[in-house]
Amino acid sequence: MTAQFDAVIAGHLCLDIIPDLSAVSPDRFPTLFQPGQLREIGPATCSTGGAVSNTGLALHILGVPVRLMGKIGDDAFGQVVRRIIDAYDPRLRDGMAVDPQASTSYTLVISPPGIDRLFLHCPGANDTFTAADIRYDLLERARLFHFGYPPLMRQMYRRNGDQLVAVFRQAKATGITTSLDMSLPDPSSPSGQADWPAILRRVLPFVDIFLPSIEEILFMLRPNDYRRMVAQAGSGGILPLVTPGLLTSLGRELLELGVKIAGLKLGDRGFYLCTAGQDALASLGRAGPADLAAWAGRELWAACFQVRVAGATGAGDATIAGFLTAFLRGLPPEEAVTAATAVGACSVEAPDALSGLRPWEDTLDRVRRGWPRRPLTVNAPGWWFNPAYRIWQKT
């Protein structure tokens, strides 16, 4: 069957409501929520958030024909979500689920100047999302299925991930190429207490492309290492502690769990890719590359591009969108990791998830014109710098 669109993006979707608190000085913020007070603030802006919005709309901006599969309520916030998506293209939400019994997920983003942001989040319909909310008939008409943020969706991690496994088993049965992204759970939450090693062992045999962050996969697969690194890093974050040996070890472990292509998002240290052998890649599904040999047994590390950072919201989702766009266009892995870091870099040039993104050809042209990368040196056996793509690769 000829695909009518390239990708379906499913999973977490919410409405972000961001009141303008620019007139609230840092010294006044502690009194902002005193009971019985009326405080005057600026107008609110609304945008969609979550993997469905951030990755799905990024793919649309990059020129990929895509459909979105989030779940919302039949309420006022749900109408706002639909209007925001319709402003891009009403066809995008052909696969959306509307539940009259559920409320639309929303987040109040409290972000006064000079103070760390505070989020007040209602999970809403995301917590009722199950395998039955996936339109498998649409998957049969697409090449790629991407699902994002199961740790933020209660039914996806309950009972050792029964619903998540059902989603990917049924998706894979349609012949589509499957892709999965994660989010970092709160360790004290029910999601943080879930048995993620067991969940991953069950679901990853049905996942072709796995694209978590380094923090997420360490938390889920190697919690003791994650806690040790967090304690060692202090407030600076664990990224400086990530070594080539750690990446190789994690990449190989993910391949052993059934993943065909593992990509790890490394924040300002770039993007790491590890792929399975040619025999395993042969089962990638409809979006699989024509040149399997070019993708087989590869290990690459691409540095970020240099930008002035305005905000990191949605940067990981944009990175994924860049990688998946290159993959869907049949580009080799060297160009796919370059696209991932390029689109991610464009994203952080704006404070929100999407307004910094450029059309696909504009993004590639920026790379071709010699867009400088951030410094990255990989001092480990077998690694060498490929000057043609300005990335590191392992022999």
DSSP bridge partners of 68? 9
In a domain, 259, yes or no: yes
Residue 317's domain is classified under what CATH number? 3.40.1190.20
Q: The whole model's pTM is what?
A: 0.95
The tens digit of pLDDT for each residue in 209-254 reads 999 999 999 999 999 999 999 999 988 899 999 999 999 999 999 9
The answer to whether position 335 is within a domain reads: yes
What confidence category does residue 109 fall into, taking pLDDT thresholds of 50, 70 and 90? Answer: confident
pLDDT at 31: 78
Give the total number of structural domains in the chain.
1
pLDDT at 2: 53
Classify residue 16: in a domain, yes or no.
no
Domain span at residue 290 reads 7-11+51-102+126-394
- The reply to whether 144 falls in a domain is yes
Which burial class, exposed, middle or buried, applies to 31 when counting CB atoms under 10 A from its CB (0-12, 13-18, 19+)? exposed
What percentage of the chain reaches a pLDDT higher than 70?
Answer: 99
Residue 42 lies in a domain: no
pLDDT of residue 45: 87
Percentage of the residues of the chain whose pLDDT score is greater than 90: 86
pLDDT at position 346: 98
Per-residue model confidence (pLDDT) at position 30: 77
Instruction: Identify the residue with better confidence: 22 or 367.
Output: 367
For residue 32, give the DSSP letter: T
Q: For 280-304, what is each residue's pLDDT tens digit?
A: 999 999 999 999 999 999 999 999 9
Least confident span in 105-109, 201-205, 344-348: 105-109
Distance, in Å, from the CA atom of 135 to the CA atom of 354, rounded to the nearest integer, reads 26
Lowest mean pLDDT among 95-104, 106-115, 346-355: 106-115
CB atoms within 10 A of CB 242: 19
Q: Is 322 part of a structural domain of the chain?
A: yes
Domain membership of residue 60 (yes or no) is yes
Helix spans in 263-311 (H): 278-281, 292-295
- Kindly report, residue by residue over 65-108, the tens digit of the pLDDT: 999 999 999 999 999 999 999 999 999 999 999 999 999 999 99
- Is 358 domain-assigned? yes
Q: What is the mean pLDDT of residues 329-346?
A: 99
Among 12-16, 28-32, 165-169, 217-221, the range scoring the smallest mean pLDDT is 28-32
* Beta strands per DSSP E along 7-138: 7-11, 14-19, 44-49, 66-69, 71-73, 97-99, 106-110, 118-122
Mean residue pLDDT of the chain comes to 95
User: Model confidence at 1, in pLDDT bands (50, 70, 90)?
Assistant: very low
**Mean pLDDT value of segment 264-269:** 97
